[in-house]
Structure 1
């Protein structure tokens, strides 16, 4: 089974702005060249040509096509065939059958509608899906809502539920989970807190919309020296304490050992 090896700091870049491609690639771990929401209908053909004419490293590039049920999808697929890109983000993915329209490509299924969230488990089981991502704003729009966040900036309950569903179904099917974008660009503190929560919860990466968000996300996904030190000491203590044992006032058993190994990248 193919794995998602990009990340953790992933940056969207409009496909009709090829002058930004290289700059985005320099700042991000991976770039999403966006043929969908970032491109107006009248600019989509020019965006496809820019995608073909301005290549990036395929190992660090994702192409977001338009949804399969739109008039633009077939044209996007034709452009993809003229490029070296093999990792595709499929927006508004709502069923296990939809990724099959991208046979031969690794698919990041973007679950961002009510149907997509409720079918996340089936979507994650699709053979060519390597990761699931969720989208808050399109989800709320599909529900007839007006905002994904409350006045304090935190997600509304339905958005938190959707986020958890995507994470759980992705991991249950041995796929990566990617956290949604943080739209308040100047609020780097809030971005950092949300990114740290994503890492601690099990997300493998976080998408973003601005280059200034890259260092914050990257730092959030890196364990601190204190976390690394504690994880090492827990693993060392386990060598002489088989089974359950106490460590600095905390009970340690196999789940906590797995967390320590994950911190160390083992």
Structure 2
């Protein structure tokens, strides 16, 4: 079960000076051995992971794609650590997850056309606890140029992939993690995107800069009125049988599940 979030902050694994600060400023840190690290620095980044003195319960390590040589080296380094929550970059084939033993919990990063297409199969794997999607690698895998329009909104292909991964995760009772907002200074856009994420059913949102953390937290944090409503409707449900009317609205089990979700984020 994935319990981290809602704000997951990426941190390059070749910058150990940032590890503790990133963890302090976020709900969990993603120590990145993949895209954030140049090929020449990957060996040192792995040693940094091994030497890291941070709480393993709040650390995710992103490893390289399973079809790369770096993946095997990443697994060897991980075996020398206490880190057991791993994000697998460019997840496409769930059989690749068999490389991890039962002590690991995996976040499948579905960020290619094949990965999004197979997200349902990936979500079924017993090691998978969460699915995340990625926009830019997805569009690149399709031969495209950009995941967003000039106004910052996602193109249809990105919106499709986002929904596909969310539904695949939900169908298996796994957590879905929303993609990063690359425009660091666009906090209004990030806030709107994060608000849509929580309303749609995502359990967390990844980010690339500490200044983005609070916007994500605020979006996932229910307002006091929503919390008050959730508590009241659940109390009312205890005295009812089946569908009932509450504050002018029909209430059935899906509405009660929504109320429980609100309290779960409170």
Q: Which runs of 4+ in 1 moved over 3 A?
A: none
Would the aligned equivalents of 1:124 and 1:132 in 2 still touch at CA under 8 Å? Answer: yes
Distance 1:229 1:160 in 2: 32
SS at match of 1:148: coil
**Structure 1: gaps spanning 5 or more residues:** none
SS at match of 2:69: coil
Among candidates 75, 79, 92, match of residue 90 of structure 2: 92
**Structure 2: gaps spanning 5 or more residues:** none
Distance 1:240 1:125 in 2: 38
Q: CA deviation at 1:31?
A: 0.5
Which TM-score applies when normalising by structure 1? 0.96
SS at match of 1:4: coil
SS at match of 1:42: helix
Distance 1:175 1:226 in 2: 28
Among candidates 42, 62, 67, match of residue 64 of structure 1: 62
* Partner deviation per Cα, 1:136-187 (whole Å, 9 max, x = no partner): 1100000111111112211111111111111111111111111110111111
Would the aligned equivalents of 1:167 and 1:202 in 2 still touch at CA under 8 Å? Answer: yes
Q: CA deviation at 1:224?
A: 0.6
Equivalent pairs counted in the alignment come to 264
Which TM-score applies when normalising by structure 2? 0.96
Distance 1:254 1:5 in 2: 24
Partner of 1:106: 105
Partner of 2:237: 238
Describe how 1:21-170 pairs up with structure 2 within 5 A: 21-104=19-102, 105-170=104-169
Partner of 2:187: 188
Compute the RMSD of aligned alpha carbons.
Answer: 1.3
SS at match of 1:62: strand
Q: CA deviation at 1:244?
A: 2.2
